[in-house]
Structure 1
């Protein structure tokens, strides 16, 4: 009887102190996995990114070598130059990854809403369109690809209406939404129109946020908050997106934009 008790005691102790294996979340990969995904996506979209990264690394190492020769501390300066060279290569990757991410979603419905998510403090926006028009009743994703959509952002420059989709319908819808917004915010708040596209007199998706930030600041931050709240109370124009269709389907990975 006692022998059975003694034999089972070690097993019981091992069972109590056994560490549970961590289950990896497939939706939350580690940093190394994220880096691999970003690097693979960037290389696929822009094969020259690898060469630019190598060039940045070599330039920093060459500069470290020259400084080391000048100070007569070649080995010491070269060791310090390695992490700086790696940072330079990662900076190039971040830049290329941002462009690759924009290129992947450019022209897709909801691309503007995805890019608005990269705006920093001082801007208030809706990632869903405030108005849309497809020349009739939209029934599915196919109609959404041919729809003109208007997105709205509020900042110190005033109200910015960004349009995407067919040019004629987008311009008409922009003017209609501009009149609607102007009646609410008043003449003292500027309403800017930006047309996203690749044609003439259009703003590329990758330059959209830069164009918004370059606009002259006409109102204070508190006034921008008040304008945003007033427009939120106004609501969204009807006849926009059909049920079950998400215009933000082409959402961009913000970590990929930062190169992480």
Structure 2
């Protein structure tokens, strides 16, 4: 007796479909992605990488011709040249990444996100000017509390000072550092922000840092009272009501 076809019997094939295997990404894929991203922002990166690679090879060859077997020095020079080229690419990629986000709201938090240990940063601003939308970000580490502002002008300075006083009332004995991110005089460029934060001198231990975090959590973040159904950017005072309805 012949076997009946599944289609003729109306039976469906319950066999699971084959899942397409995801191709594993190697380290050189990540390097190439970084190179493409950097080249979009910095077209000269190709020449910098090539000049570094062949420059180190040339130095190794000259040393080999002068003091020893040139083939041996050339073989040693290959991995050294590759490492030097990778270092240059990493530095150029870092600068390109900063250039892409510079001037954008929250760029300072994106830069400080590269600090993996020793600091705790709030993702949301702890203070914000209602009109200009100027934010103030906060971080806590062994050097104390750091307040990060973005932009220029008296509004930024006034907002940072108000948040510093607000924090000092809760933590009177903890150092509070205010860093203004920007390219004006007295400000810290975005490219040097991480280095500036890391250079702050530690004064607290781990237990004290935990206590500071707990107090700041109780203090809360930015509070912008917004009445229901009212757009704060379009709200206007009721001048007739202020005059008593006359």
TM-score range, shorter chain: 0.7 to 0.9
Query: Retained in 2: the 8 A contact 1:131–1:240?
Result: no
What TM-score results when the alignment is normalised by the length of structure 2?
Answer: 0.77
Instruction: Tell me the CA shift for residue 240 of structure 1.
Output: 8.7
Distance apart, 1:43 and its partner CA: 1.8
1:121 aligns with: 117
Matched, 1:107 2:103: yes
Is the Cα contact below 8 Å between 1:124 and 1:225 reproduced in 2?
Answer: no
Distance 1:240 1:199 in 2: 32
Q: Provide the C-alpha distance between the structure 2 equivalents of 1:166 and 1:201, rounded to a whole number of angstroms.
A: 10
1:237 equivalent in alignment to 2:243: no
Match of 2:61 in 1: 65
Which of 80, 88, 93 is equivalent to 2:76? 80
Question: Equivalent residue for 1:228?
Answer: 213
- The corresponding residue for 2:48 is 52
Structure 2, unaligned runs of 5 or more: 4-14, 227-246
1:43 counterpart = 2:39: yes
Q: Which residue of 2 aligns with 1:167?
A: 153
Report SS of the residue matched to 2:137: strand
1:78-227 equivalence runs, <5 A = 78-135=74-131, 146-186=132-172, 188-227=173-212
Q: RMSD of the TM alignment (CA)?
A: 2.7
Match of 1:22 in 2: 21
Seen in structure 2, the aligned counterparts of structure 1 residues 120 and 225 have a Cα distance that, compared at 3 Å, is: same
Paired with 2:225 and 2:85, the residues of 1 have a C-alpha distance of 44
Say which structure, 1 or 2, has more relative contact order (CA 8 Å, 6+ apart).
Answer: 1
User: Does the CA-based 8 Å contact 1:109-1:165 persist in structure 2?
Assistant: no
**How many Å apart are 1:31 and its aligned residue?**
3.9
Task: Give SS of 1:100's match.
Answer: helix
Q: How many residues of Structure 1 are paired with residues of Structure 2 in the alignment?
A: 214
SS in 2 for 1:194: strand
Shift of 1:82: 1.2
The answer to which structure has the higher helix fraction is 1
* Maintained 8 Å contact 1:113/1:129: no
String of CA shifts for 1:102-124, please: whole Å, max 9, x gaps: 11101101111111211132112
Bigger Rg, structure 1 or 2: 2
Q: State how far apart, in whole Å, the 1-side matches of 2:133 and 2:72 are.
A: 60
Decide whether aligned partners of structure 1 residues 240 and 153 sit closer, same or farther in structure 2, where only a CA change above 3 A counts.
Answer: farther
- The 2-side partners of 1:154 and 1:215 are apart by 12
